[in-house]
Amino acid sequence: MKETRILMGMPITVEIPNESMVQNPIDRVFEYFNYVDQKFSTYKKESEISQINQGLLTENEYSSDMKQILAMCEETKALTNGYFDISRNGILDPSGLVKGWAIDNATKILDQFGFNNYYVEAGGDIQVKGNNEKGQFWRIGIRNPFNIKEVIKIVNVTNQGIATSGTYIRGQHVYNPFSQNEKLTEIVCITVIGTNIYEADRFATAAFAMGKEGIEFIDKLHGFAGYMIDQKAVATYTNNFEPYIVNLNE
Protein backbone atom coordinates (compact mmCIF):
# COMPACT_ATOMS: atom_id res chain seq x y z
CA MET A 1 0.00 0.00 0.00
CA LYS A 2 1.23 3.47 -0.86
CA GLU A 3 -0.22 6.88 -0.05
CA THR A 4 0.94 10.48 -0.48
CA ARG A 5 -0.47 13.54 1.27
CA ILE A 6 0.63 17.17 1.41
CA LEU A 7 1.70 18.08 4.93
CA MET A 8 4.36 20.38 6.37
CA GLY A 9 4.26 22.19 3.00
CA MET A 10 5.62 19.14 1.13
CA PRO A 11 4.51 15.77 -0.24
CA ILE A 12 4.85 12.98 2.31
CA THR A 13 4.72 9.38 1.11
CA VAL A 14 4.26 6.20 3.09
CA GLU A 15 4.65 2.85 1.35
CA ILE A 16 4.23 -0.55 2.99
CA PRO A 17 4.78 -3.16 0.27
CA ASN A 18 2.82 -6.40 -0.01
CA GLU A 19 0.45 -5.46 2.79
CA SER A 20 -3.30 -4.98 2.76
CA MET A 21 -5.68 -3.39 5.27
CA VAL A 22 -3.02 -1.12 6.73
CA GLN A 23 -4.93 2.17 6.55
CA ASN A 24 -4.93 2.70 10.32
CA PRO A 25 -1.12 2.62 10.70
CA ILE A 26 -0.71 4.93 7.71
CA ASP A 27 -3.29 7.34 9.14
CA ARG A 28 -1.36 7.32 12.42
CA VAL A 29 1.82 8.27 10.57
CA PHE A 30 0.15 11.19 8.80
CA GLU A 31 -1.45 12.34 12.05
CA TYR A 32 2.01 12.45 13.58
CA PHE A 33 3.40 14.57 10.74
CA ASN A 34 0.45 16.94 11.18
CA TYR A 35 1.28 17.22 14.89
CA VAL A 36 4.91 18.08 14.06
CA ASP A 37 3.77 20.71 11.55
CA GLN A 38 1.47 22.36 14.10
CA LYS A 39 4.29 22.53 16.64
CA PHE A 40 7.38 23.39 14.59
CA SER A 41 6.23 25.24 11.47
CA THR A 42 7.76 28.70 11.28
CA TYR A 43 4.99 29.61 8.80
CA LYS A 44 2.17 29.08 11.31
CA LYS A 45 1.75 31.97 13.76
CA GLU A 46 0.13 29.69 16.32
CA SER A 47 2.88 27.05 16.32
CA GLU A 48 5.04 26.68 19.40
CA ILE A 49 8.23 27.70 17.58
CA SER A 50 6.51 30.84 16.25
CA GLN A 51 5.27 31.71 19.73
CA ILE A 52 8.83 31.32 21.02
CA ASN A 53 10.14 33.59 18.26
CA GLN A 54 7.46 36.14 19.14
CA GLY A 55 8.58 36.08 22.77
CA LEU A 56 5.24 34.66 23.95
CA LEU A 57 6.72 31.63 25.73
CA THR A 58 9.42 31.33 28.33
CA GLU A 59 11.80 28.36 28.47
CA ASN A 60 9.98 26.73 31.37
CA GLU A 61 6.84 26.74 29.20
CA TYR A 62 8.44 24.82 26.31
CA SER A 63 6.98 21.40 25.54
CA SER A 64 9.11 18.29 26.06
CA ASP A 65 9.43 17.84 22.28
CA MET A 66 10.59 21.43 21.87
CA LYS A 67 13.18 21.02 24.61
CA GLN A 68 14.39 17.82 22.96
CA ILE A 69 14.68 19.44 19.52
CA LEU A 70 16.54 22.48 20.83
CA ALA A 71 18.94 20.21 22.76
CA MET A 72 19.51 18.12 19.61
CA CYS A 73 20.21 21.29 17.64
CA GLU A 74 22.81 22.38 20.16
CA GLU A 75 24.40 18.93 20.03
CA THR A 76 24.48 19.04 16.22
CA LYS A 77 26.01 22.52 16.29
CA ALA A 78 28.84 21.20 18.44
CA LEU A 79 29.36 18.11 16.26
CA THR A 80 29.57 20.23 13.08
CA ASN A 81 31.93 22.92 14.40
CA GLY A 82 29.15 25.48 14.40
CA TYR A 83 27.97 24.96 10.81
CA PHE A 84 24.56 23.73 11.98
CA ASP A 85 23.05 26.80 13.61
CA ILE A 86 19.28 27.33 13.90
CA SER A 87 19.52 30.96 15.08
CA ARG A 88 19.55 33.70 12.49
CA ASN A 89 18.93 37.34 13.33
CA GLY A 90 17.41 36.25 16.63
CA ILE A 91 14.92 33.86 15.01
CA LEU A 92 15.01 30.12 15.70
CA ASP A 93 14.34 27.77 12.79
CA PRO A 94 15.05 24.10 13.59
CA SER A 95 13.64 22.81 10.27
CA GLY A 96 17.04 21.42 9.22
CA LEU A 97 16.71 18.86 11.97
CA VAL A 98 12.95 18.56 12.57
CA LYS A 99 12.10 16.87 9.27
CA GLY A 100 14.54 14.00 9.70
CA TRP A 101 13.57 13.63 13.37
CA ALA A 102 9.90 13.51 12.40
CA ILE A 103 10.46 10.87 9.72
CA ASP A 104 12.50 8.79 12.15
CA ASN A 105 9.74 8.98 14.77
CA ALA A 106 7.06 8.22 12.19
CA THR A 107 8.82 5.00 11.21
CA LYS A 108 8.79 3.94 14.86
CA ILE A 109 4.99 3.94 14.63
CA LEU A 110 5.25 1.43 11.78
CA ASP A 111 7.76 -0.59 13.82
CA GLN A 112 5.22 -0.79 16.64
CA PHE A 113 2.73 -2.34 14.22
CA GLY A 114 5.30 -4.97 13.32
CA PHE A 115 6.06 -3.98 9.73
CA ASN A 116 9.41 -5.22 8.45
CA ASN A 117 9.35 -3.42 5.11
CA TYR A 118 8.47 0.23 4.48
CA TYR A 119 9.42 3.50 2.81
CA VAL A 120 8.67 6.90 4.35
CA GLU A 121 9.58 10.09 2.48
CA ALA A 122 9.05 13.73 3.34
CA GLY A 123 10.17 16.28 0.77
CA GLY A 124 12.92 14.08 -0.65
CA ASP A 125 14.29 12.83 2.68
CA ILE A 126 13.73 9.11 3.09
CA GLN A 127 13.85 6.32 5.67
CA VAL A 128 13.55 2.73 4.48
CA LYS A 129 13.39 -0.64 6.18
CA GLY A 130 13.72 -4.10 4.74
CA ASN A 131 12.88 -4.60 1.07
CA ASN A 132 10.59 -3.23 -1.63
CA GLU A 133 7.67 -5.12 -3.18
CA LYS A 134 10.09 -7.10 -5.36
CA GLY A 135 11.98 -8.34 -2.33
CA GLN A 136 14.99 -6.18 -3.21
CA PHE A 137 16.73 -3.37 -1.36
CA TRP A 138 15.00 -0.04 -1.90
CA ARG A 139 16.25 1.84 -4.95
CA ILE A 140 16.47 5.60 -4.48
CA GLY A 141 17.16 8.04 -7.31
CA ILE A 142 19.38 11.10 -6.97
CA ARG A 143 18.14 13.92 -9.16
CA ASN A 144 20.17 16.04 -11.51
CA PRO A 145 19.96 19.47 -9.81
CA PHE A 146 20.24 21.15 -13.22
CA ASN A 147 17.37 19.07 -14.66
CA ILE A 148 15.19 17.68 -11.89
CA LYS A 149 13.33 15.39 -14.29
CA GLU A 150 16.55 13.42 -14.75
CA VAL A 151 17.95 10.87 -12.30
CA ILE A 152 21.74 10.76 -12.41
CA LYS A 153 22.40 8.05 -9.84
CA ILE A 154 20.37 5.23 -8.29
CA VAL A 155 21.41 3.79 -4.95
CA ASN A 156 20.47 0.61 -3.07
CA VAL A 157 19.60 1.14 0.59
CA THR A 158 17.96 -0.82 3.38
CA ASN A 159 17.43 0.02 7.06
CA GLN A 160 18.95 3.44 6.43
CA GLY A 161 18.09 7.06 5.83
CA ILE A 162 18.99 9.21 2.83
CA ALA A 163 18.73 12.99 2.80
CA THR A 164 19.58 15.69 0.28
CA SER A 165 20.32 19.32 1.04
CA GLY A 166 20.51 21.84 -1.77
CA THR A 167 19.20 24.96 -3.43
CA TYR A 168 17.68 23.57 -6.63
CA ILE A 169 14.17 23.04 -5.17
CA ARG A 170 13.73 25.53 -2.33
CA GLY A 171 16.35 28.12 -3.26
CA GLN A 172 18.70 29.66 -0.69
CA HIS A 173 17.18 28.25 2.50
CA VAL A 174 20.45 27.02 4.04
CA TYR A 175 23.12 29.49 5.11
CA ASN A 176 26.68 29.53 6.36
CA PRO A 177 26.45 30.82 9.94
CA PHE A 178 29.97 32.25 9.67
CA SER A 179 29.00 34.32 6.63
CA GLN A 180 25.26 34.76 6.95
CA ASN A 181 24.74 37.35 4.23
CA GLU A 182 26.51 35.44 1.47
CA LYS A 183 24.62 33.02 -0.74
CA LEU A 184 25.84 29.44 -0.89
CA THR A 185 26.93 28.92 -4.48
CA GLU A 186 29.95 26.57 -4.36
CA ILE A 187 27.78 23.47 -4.45
CA VAL A 188 24.19 22.88 -5.53
CA CYS A 189 23.40 19.75 -3.54
CA ILE A 190 24.76 17.05 -1.29
CA THR A 191 23.12 13.69 -0.60
CA VAL A 192 23.94 11.79 2.58
CA ILE A 193 23.22 8.16 3.44
CA GLY A 194 23.24 7.46 7.17
CA THR A 195 22.27 4.99 9.83
CA ASN A 196 18.86 6.68 10.00
CA ILE A 197 17.18 9.70 8.44
CA TYR A 198 17.60 11.88 11.52
CA GLU A 199 21.36 11.53 11.34
CA ALA A 200 21.50 11.83 7.54
CA ASP A 201 19.30 14.93 7.51
CA ARG A 202 21.10 16.95 10.15
CA PHE A 203 24.55 16.22 8.74
CA ALA A 204 23.43 16.87 5.14
CA THR A 205 22.24 20.34 6.20
CA ALA A 206 25.52 21.11 7.97
CA ALA A 207 27.62 19.70 5.12
CA PHE A 208 25.83 21.88 2.59
CA ALA A 209 26.55 24.96 4.71
CA MET A 210 30.25 24.03 4.60
CA GLY A 211 30.40 24.28 0.80
CA LYS A 212 32.95 22.07 -0.93
CA GLU A 213 34.44 21.05 2.42
CA GLY A 214 31.14 19.36 3.27
CA ILE A 215 31.91 16.17 1.39
CA GLU A 216 35.17 15.80 3.34
CA PHE A 217 33.22 16.22 6.57
CA ILE A 218 30.84 13.40 5.58
CA ASP A 219 33.75 11.22 4.46
CA LYS A 220 35.19 11.36 7.97
CA LEU A 221 31.91 10.40 9.68
CA HIS A 222 31.75 6.73 10.59
CA GLY A 223 28.81 4.97 8.95
CA PHE A 224 27.94 7.74 6.48
CA ALA A 225 28.32 8.12 2.72
CA GLY A 226 27.87 11.23 0.59
CA TYR A 227 27.48 12.44 -2.99
CA MET A 228 28.04 16.13 -3.81
CA ILE A 229 27.46 18.14 -6.99
CA ASP A 230 29.11 21.55 -7.36
CA GLN A 231 28.09 24.60 -9.39
CA LYS A 232 30.09 23.33 -12.38
CA ALA A 233 28.11 20.06 -12.37
CA VAL A 234 31.11 18.10 -11.11
CA ALA A 235 30.24 15.24 -8.76
CA THR A 236 32.40 14.17 -5.82
CA TYR A 237 31.59 11.31 -3.51
CA THR A 238 32.95 9.72 -0.38
CA ASN A 239 35.18 6.66 -0.42
CA ASN A 240 32.39 4.38 0.73
CA PHE A 241 29.65 5.64 -1.60
CA GLU A 242 30.35 3.50 -4.66
CA PRO A 243 29.02 0.20 -3.24
CA TYR A 244 25.57 1.80 -2.97
CA ILE A 245 25.40 2.65 -6.69
CA VAL A 246 23.08 0.52 -8.83
CA ASN A 247 24.67 -0.51 -12.13
CA LEU A 248 21.68 -0.72 -14.48
CA ASN A 249 23.82 -2.46 -17.13
CA GLU A 250 24.39 -5.51 -14.99
Task: Report the distance separating Cα 167 and Cα 172, nearest Å.
Answer: 5
CA angle 130, 1, 136 (to 5 degrees): 30
Strand, helix or coil for residue 190: strand
Q: Does 250 reside within a domain?
A: no
The pLDDT score that the predictor gives to residue 180 is 67
**In the chain, how many domains are there?**
1
pTM beyond 0.85, yes or no: yes
The pLDDT score that the predictor gives to residue 116 is 95
> H/E/C letters for each residue in 206-224?
HHHHCHHHHHHHHHCCCCC
Identity of the residue numbered 78: A
CATH code of residue 236: 3.10.520.10
The residue type of 220 is: K
**Strands, E assignment, 8-159:** 10-15, 87-88, 91-92, 118-122, 125-129, 138-144, 147-157
Average pLDDT along the chain, 250 residues, taken 10 residues at a time: 93 90 87 98 96 96 98 98 93 95 98 96 96 96 93 96 81 65 83 97 96 96 97 95 84
DSSP helix/strand/coil, 142: strand
Residue 249 lies in a domain: no
Query: Within a domain: residue 65?
Result: yes
Other residues' Cβ atoms within 10 Å of the Cβ of residue 8: 20
Considering the domain boundaries, does residue 148 fall inside one? yes
Whether residue 42 is contained in a domain is answered as yes
**Domain of 31, in residue numbers:** 2-244
Of the chain, the end-to-end C-alpha distance in Å amounts to 29
